[in-house]
Each structure stands twice: as structure tokens, then as C-alpha cells.
Chain A
Amino acid sequence: MTIRVAVSVNGTEYVREVEPRLLLIHFIRDDLGLTGSHWGCDTSNCGSCVMWLDGRPVKSCTLLAAMADGRAVRTVEGLERNGKLDPVQQGFIECHGLQCGFCTSGMLMTARWLLDHHPDPDEAQIREVISGQVCRCTGYENIVRSVRWAAEHEGASRMAEDGPA
């Protein structure tokens, strides 16, 4: 049995026939070829697979692709605009917010969501929102600094609705 899934990913419409048991992370990576989102622990613990579904971050290893039908997905590939990195991406560069990079796309998606709702988060808020995401390189210090960098360097007018998701 296959089912038809029509989903908008980073503003582009995709229609595919998939098995109902296909997980969203594998659909995005293997069927659509968008490999920026990473497939990690498979148990919704590590957060490497975080992407947005209808404007909210989700752990895509624990969702079915079928559940995304008719919805909008935003992945790390959808952060950059017109060749310009999102402030959270720039922040991770400026503050050395990654080493191996495996957790980074998930961290970026959660950070973008946090800043859309809390433009000036303190350290505790940043640590809380990424508490379900694991980084084994940075000790989180530089991730917190990176998100703070983004908060300090983006225009106050930037809100969720200007994104494709």
C-alpha cells in the first residue's frame, strides 16, 4: 500500500507516493534529497532531525511522512534567503557554534523558532529550548553564544510570517 503525500518544503510543492510507515526524516532526506536535516538517534532524544512542520519545530524521526500531507515543512535549507544566511546561521559561524556539525541543522531550526517568538532570549531560555537536543562537541556554551549573537544582530521586524513555512 502506498499513499499520496503532497507537501510544501521550503516553499516548493512536492507530491510523492510513499509507504505509510515512511518516517518524515527519511522522506525529506531520501525521497526529496534534502540531506541538511540529519538522522540521528531514531528515538526522538537527540534532536538532529528537527525541522518545522506548519511553523513549529518537530522531531521528524518520530513523525510519519503521511502526517505532513497538506502541511508546510521548513528545513535548514530553507533558512538562507537570496543567498544571505539567516542570522542564526551567521551566529554559529561567528561564535564557533559547531564542530562536527551533526546536531547543527536541528539546533538552527529550534533557534530560529525561539527567536521568532522570543527575540531577546536570555541564556536560561536558550538552554531550555534546546534541552531536547544533544551536542557532543561544544558543551553548548558556543551554541548559546551563537543564538545570542543572532538575537543581537537581526532586525527587530523579522518575524515568522516572512518565511516560506
Chain B
Amino acid sequence: MQVPSHVEYERAASLQHALSLLTRPDARAVAGGHSLIPMMKLRLAQPELLVDINGLTELSFIALDDGQLRIGALARHADLLDSAVAGRCYPIFHDAERVVADPIVRLWGTIGGSLCQADPSEDLSAAFAAARATAVIRGQDGERTVPVRQFHLGPYETVIGPGELLAEVRVPVLPATGSAYEKVSRRVGDWSIAAAGAVLRLGGAAERPVIVSAGIGLTAVGAEHFVAAEAEEFLRGRAADEESFAAAGAIAARGCHPAADQRGPEDYKRHLVAELTTRALRRAAARVRLDA
């Protein structure tokens, strides 16, 4: 029988209340708890105080606002999957959400919780990194913003400090942009063996599109900040065609650091990175509407 160790529990009545409770260094915010509670059962996390933020419904929004897609930290995975506006601007989030755990877990687990868990195998970190999203962090003295690409300090570690809470994630909505996420796992609902997300902004003539900018996120393969930076740089200014996509996939595969584990050996994971990056770029490009 797995049960968490003894822990204190407080329900946050307001954002200010939550921030004040979270100043205790041994406190952890809990919302869905679908990552934290299993870790507490295994004693991999042993907070002394849980601050339940499920009541802070002002953080549950998903909205298009002033050229940005804004996703509240307390939005559930199912909310993001159900959001038509998110799917229209960034189909990568719908692709990724379809393969995050299972439909029941997605009803309760939150976007903010996934990002703050900072699990190297978690899907949304790579998707938000590909989209060059910004994390909005609330503290007692106001808010600060951190690019998602600098949000994770390492496995299970983020820039969130005591007395702070991830409040929302903002993603710039740009014209002529397409995105996609491709994942391979051992079975439905499992963590990635490897996955790749791509966000492409195209320009030029519709019959010969050129890549204006590329974002590539990689999951579970030891990519620094979940990003394939060299492949992104390679793509800038190149033709949006199969040759570019395959070359970028090869660069991404070389530049990551997958570890052999029960999900597969290193060379297999690199093979997946090359193939999935290519597929994600192909699908992202096909979703761009240059006439829009």
C-alpha cells in the first residue's frame, strides 16, 4: 500500500494567501496532484505542507488576448484539449494533449502542474519550448516573466522560488504559422520513448515557401531546455521542403543526449528523434496557411 508521509494541508483562499503559505521552503503547491502525490507516495518528494490551489479558479482560463494565447496554470489538460482557440492557433497543444496520460487523468491534471513537475519525459514542456512560450510567475511583490526555455533548471527543478507560483503561460500568436507534435511510446497513455514538437513560421511564395523561423522541442531525450537549438538555426531561411526537414531531424538527433533505459537503447532514441522531428516539421508546414 502506497501512502504519502505525514503532511500538513492548507487550502488557499486567494492567490495572495497561496503565495504567503508558499513562503515556507518546505511547502509545495498542489492542484491536480497527479505527479506530486505519486512522488510523495514513493518518498521522492516530502513536502511538509501542501497548499491546495484548486480553489483559485481565476487561474483556469484559456484565452486569446492581444495577440497572445494565454493559458492559466490551473487549466486542466482536458480544458486545453477542448479549447477551439488553442487548437486553431497552436494545433501542437492538441497533438500533445491527446497523448498526455489518459482521458481521466487529463480531467484533473493541470497545465501548470505539468510544467512545474519538470519531468524530462513530460510532453508539454517540449511543446511550450517549441512555441517559445513565456511563463508568468506570481510572487508576493508582483509578477515576473521567464521564457519557458529558461524555466527548467534540470530534472524536477524550475526557477520557481519560495513564495512564488506559476500563474499562466503565454504564447505569441503569429501569422503563417503551423505546429505539430509527434510521440512514440510503448503503449497508450505511457511516457514518451521520444517525442518531437515543431512550430514553423513560413514566408515567401505559396508554391516555394521559406522558413522564417523554427521552434523544435524534444521530449525525454536529454535535450538542453527541451530544445533542438542547432536544428532550429539550420532551418532559418531554408526552403520548407523534405530535404530541409530530414537534415534538421538528423541535426536534432546528433545534438540531444538520450540515456539508455527500459524504454530503449540510445541509438534507437536518436533514430526516433530524427524521424519524429522530420514528421513534426512536415506536419507543421502542411498546417501553415500562407494566404491567411
Contacts and interface: CB of A to CB of B under 8 A. Distances in A.
Interface of A: 1, 3, 19-23, 26, 42-45, 47, 50, 53, 56-59, 62-64, 66-67, 69, 110, 128-129, 131-133
Contacts of B38: 43-44, 62
Given A43-B38, A62-B37, A62-B38, A21 B7 contact: yes
A21 B5 contact: yes
A45 B38 CA distance: 11
A140 to B, nearest CB: 12
Contact of A20 (B2, B7, B41, B102): B7
Contact of B101 (A1, A69, A132, A133): A132
Contacts of B103: 128-129, 131-132
Contacts of A23: 3, 37
Given A21-B3, A21-B7, A131-B188, A64 B108 contact: no
Contacts of A128: 103
A128 B103 CA distance: 8
Contacts, number: 79
B8 interface: yes
A132 B37 contact: no
Contacts of B30: 64
B189 interface: yes
A21 B103 CA distance: 25
Interface residues of B, number: 29
A29 to B, nearest CB: 12
Nearest to B102: A132
A62 B188 CA distance: 19
Nearest to B55: A70
B119 interface: no
B26 to A, nearest CB: 14
A62 B7 CA distance: 15
Contacts of A56: 107-108
Nearest to A59: B104
A42 B2 contact: yes
Between A45, A64, A110, A129, the greatest number of chain B beta carbons within 10 A of the residue's beta carbon is seen for A64
Contacts of A44: 34, 38, 101, 105
Nearest to B188: A131
B3 A50 contact: no
A39 B102 CA distance: 18
Given A67-B33, A131-B102, A132-B101, A3 B9 contact: yes
